[in-house]
């Protein structure tokens, strides 16, 4: 199977890169963050507490993938709820098979998230870890949210980002951490074309070496 696993911090550019790599290689793309956002959204809609593992796990098991294309999942509140329900092992377990099945799609798949190279697809042919300075990521995210018409200050975005980074990196189950064999790309000072070029060089090198 050909899998490109992309992990990294929030607003690091991994989603943009994932889509572009999938288009370049003719692979199918999955933004796994949307699965967690969809569960977070379902929990908020039901009026439940994202900290309650049982309700969140039930929402994950009953997830209707039709919701994945709904723009409501992009909102800041949903993102915060997503990072809260993502700490529950039961939620992660309920979403595991869907992601692994997706990774088996032919001719190949690109998945981006937090634990793709470490937990979901530890045997992925190529693993990329994408990061950027917090202020730059907050700037990008602030521009995106205000573009959707959300009223939010840069300082609030930066604070939420720090909180989510901390939660993602310190949770006991599947924390955000580069796989030992991941290639690191820092996008702080790079335009998307440069990030894509760097990633294609890495992927081509791996693909040209396979037997």
> Which helix (DSSP H) or strand (DSSP E) does residue 66 occupy?
none
Crossing angle of the two packed helices 14-25 and 192-208, in degrees rounded to 10: 50
CB of 53 to ligand C5P, least distance (A): 14
Residue from 2, 4, 10, 38 in contact with ligand C5P (CB under 6 A): 10
Task: Answer yes or no whether residue 37 interacts with ligand C5P by CB under 6 A.
Answer: yes
Task: Answer yes or no whether residue 137 interacts with ligand C5P by CB under 6 A.
Answer: no
Q: Which residues is 31 bridged to in the sheet? A: 112
Nearer to ligand C5P (CB atom), residue 2 or residue 32: 32
The residues in 88-127 that bind ligand C5P, with binding defined as CB under 6 A, are 113-115
- The Cα 150–Cα 165 span in angstroms is 21
Three-state secondary-structure class, residue 58 = helix
Task: Answer yes or no whether residue 86 interacts with ligand C5P by CB under 6 A.
Answer: yes
**The dihedral sign for the CA sequence 186, 79, 2, 107:** negative
Which residues in this chain contact ligand C5P in the complex, by CB under 6 A?
Answer: 10, 32-33, 36-37, 79, 82-83, 86, 113-115, 164, 168
């Amino acid at each position: 199977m050909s899998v490109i696993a992309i992990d990294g911090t929030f607003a690091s550019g991994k989603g943009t890169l994932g889509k572009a790599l999938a288009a370049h290689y003719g692979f199918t793309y999955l933004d796994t963050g949307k699965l967690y956002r969809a569960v977070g959204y379902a929990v908020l809609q039901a009026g439940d507490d994202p900290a309650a593992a049982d309700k969140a796990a039930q929402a994950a098991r009953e997830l209707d993938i039709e919701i994945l294309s709904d723009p409501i999942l992009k909102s800041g509140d949903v993102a915060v709820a997503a990072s809260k329900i993502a700490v529950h092992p039961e939620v992660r377990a309920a979403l595991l098979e869907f992601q692994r099945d997706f990774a088996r799609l032919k001719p190949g798949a690109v998945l981006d998230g937090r634990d793709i190279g470490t937990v979901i697809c530890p045997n992925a042919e190529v693993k990329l870890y994408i990061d950027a300075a917090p202020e730059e990521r907050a700037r990008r995210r602030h521009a995106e949210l205000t573009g959707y018409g959300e009223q939010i200050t840069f300082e609030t975005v930066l604070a939420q980002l720090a909180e989510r980074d901390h939660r993602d990196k310190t949770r006991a189950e599947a924390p955000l951490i580069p796989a030992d064999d991941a290639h690191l790309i820092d996008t702080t000072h790079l335009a998307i074309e440069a990030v894509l070029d760097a990633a294609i060089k890495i992927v081509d090198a791996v693909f040209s070496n396979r037997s």
